[in-house]
Amino acid sequence: MIPVCEPTLTGKELEYVTECLTTNWISSRGRFLEEFQDQFAEYCSCKYGIATTNGTTALHLALAALEIGEGDEVIVPAFTMAACIDAIMYTGAKPVLVDATVDTWSMDVSKVEEKISSKTKAIMAVHIYGHPCDMDHLAQLAKRYNIAILEDAAEAHGAEYKGQKIGSIGDISAFSFYANKIITTGEGGMVVTNNEELADRARRLADLAHSPDQRFVHTEVGFNYRMTNMQAALGVAQMTAIDEFVEARRTHAHSYNQQLQEVPGLTFPVEKSWAKNVYWMYGILVDEAVFGISRDELMASLREKGIETRAFFYPMHQQPGFQDQGLFHQEEYPVAEKLGMTGLYLPSSSGLTESQIAEVCAAVVDIAEQ
Ligand SMILES: Cc1ncc(COP(=O)(O)O)c(C=O)c1O
């Protein structure tokens, strides 16, 4: 089976994790944590990095650092991963959805302003599947309405917007290092920012809000979102290959594009002139009327041929768990709905070989011709 995504752990991962075990630095202090936070923040052109337990807690921490809470609203794409909505709900704020664009699949920034109210405190810009969200328009709105921008860059390590690294554009950003991400720490996440005040607040909240002056005096309700030194050891090892992983994913996307472009009824990922897409996942849309079979049928046929795929995210307004909370009833986001119904991603690991890509493409072509 060609897996849809697997990590590449062929560097110093084992050596560094072993060092944690043999030196007893296994909790949330140690040399790897400092190194990983510094190296990753610098990679994102940010001054500060605060490592967390995962990407969801990084998002929550970033929202908490921005002091978002009950009575506030946060604008977020309808086509995203549930963690975005969850993190907003943890703060007591209300998520307000915006549809996706048909080409980049990220939030349609032209539809954001109509969703801004006196309660809007932040816009969560999600760089979906590795393609950056169009940030300039959001920056203008943020300035005009005095609202913050939180980048959810969980899927976009190394992506660029107009030559600037994703993660350094908004006020504060969150990354994930889950095993399928461009670099991984097993589970893990990081908040990055260039704002010293936000960084201090995020660092304090991630560690139970100990008072800076006196340990075990807690200035507010905090969280334990601390990453372990063992996770950070993986992160430091992965950092040595991050550019290689990004380039591999871009090369793979180019190969897929070339080998699949003649197949009727498929839509491929784009790279806008202003963007560097890191193709975290190589997604395609299946137009059943032209391709001949549905997305789900294509996924099933590929599975029979030993190729694992995943369906795109189902839109947030259609999630029963959020509807049960009284959210998003009667709301419609046609682009997000179409993406959720017709999108799938093909194997996308950084370690994929050209012959595996050729095998996947041959299988898609074969199914299309039947
Ligand atoms: C866009 C987005 N945001 C947040 C997350 C949450 O990250 P984690 O799984 O590390 O909690 C993910 C995870 O895949 C994601 O894709």
Task: Answer yes or no: is the C-beta of 178 below 6 A from any ligand 1 atom.
Answer: yes
Tell me the per-residue pLDDT of 92-103, one tens digit each, with 9 for 90 and over: 999 999 999 999
Whether the CB of 155 sits within 6 Å of ligand 1: yes
Q: How many other CB atoms sit within 10 Å of the CB of residue 27?
A: 13
Q: Could you tell me if the CB of 120 is within 6 A of ligand 1? A: no
The answer to whether the CB of 53 is under 6 A from ligand 1 is no
Same fold, 13-239 and 242-369: no
Structure tokens at 132: 């950056």
The CB-side HSE value for 114 (13 A sphere, CA atoms) comes to: 7
User: Ligand 1 pocket test: which of 128, 178, 281 has the largest number of ligand atoms within 8 Å of its C-beta?
Assistant: 178
- What is the structure's pLDDT at 212? 87
Helix ranges restricted to H, 146-241: 196-206, 229-239
The predicted pLDDT at position 358 comes to: 98
Alpha carbon of 147 to ligand 1 centroid (Å):
23
Over residues 174-198, the mean pLDDT reads: 98
CA of 366 to the centre of ligand 1 (A): 34
H helix intervals, 151-260:
196-206, 229-239, 242-260
Q: Is 333 helix (H, G, I), strand (E, B) or coil?
A: coil
User: pLDDT tens for residues 202-246?
Assistant: 999 999 999 988 989 999 999 999 999 999 999 999 999 999 999
- CATH number of the 13-239 domain: 3.40.640.10
For ligand 1, say whether the CB of 126 is within 6 Å of any of its atoms: yes
Helix (H) or strand (E) holding 74: strand 73-77
Which top CATH class is 242-369?
alpha beta
What pLDDT is attached to residue 19?
A: 98
* Alpha carbon nearest to ligand 1 atom 8, residue: 55
Work out which ligand 1 atom sits closest to the CA atom of 80: 1
Residue with CA closest to ligand 1 atom 7: 55
pLDDT in the model for residue 215: 87
Q: Which candidate, 87, 77, 204, 177, places its Cα nearest to that of 131?
A: 77
Q: Binning pLDDT at 50, 70 and 90, where does residue 252 land? A: very high
Q: Which of 56, 280, 314 to mutate to test the pocket of ligand 1 (most atoms within 8 A of CB)?
A: 56
Q: Is the CB of 56 under 6 A from ligand 1?
A: yes
> From the CA of 154, how far away is ligand 1's center (Å)?
5
For the Cβ of 281 lying below 6 angstroms from any atom of ligand 1, the answer is no
Q: Does residue 154's CB lie within 6 angstroms of at least one atom of ligand 1? A: yes
CA of 46 to the centre of ligand 1 (A): 20
Q: How confident is the model at residue 370 (pLDDT cuts 50, 70, 90)?
A: confident
Q: Is 77 in the pocket of ligand 1 (CB under 6 A)?
A: no
CA of 81 to the centre of ligand 1 (A): 7
Q: Provide the whole-model pTM.
A: 0.98
CA of 5 to the centre of ligand 1 (A): 15
SS (H, E, C) 269-327: CCCCCCEECCCCCEEEEECHHHHCCCHHHHHHHHHHCCECCEECCCCHHHCHHHHCCCC
CA 16 – ligand 1 centroid, Å: 25
Q: Which atom of ligand 1 is nearest to the CA of 59?
A: 4
The answer to whether residue 312 scores a pLDDT higher than 90 is: yes
338 is catalytic: no
Q: Which of 94, 121, 165, 181 is catalytic?
A: 181
Q: Is 57 exposed, middle or buried (0-12, 13-18, 19+ CB in 10 A)?
A: buried
pLDDT in tens, 134-158: 999 999 999 999 999 999 999 999 9
Q: What CA dihedral angle connects 62, 68, 72 and 76, to 10 degrees?
A: 0
The DSSP secondary-structure symbol of 44 reads T
Domain boundary assignment for the chain:
13-239, 242-369
The rounded percent of the chain whose pLDDT value lies above 70 is: 100
Mean pLDDT of the chain: 98
- Average confidence (pLDDT) over 184-199: 98
Q: Is the CB of 368 under 6 A from ligand 1?
A: no
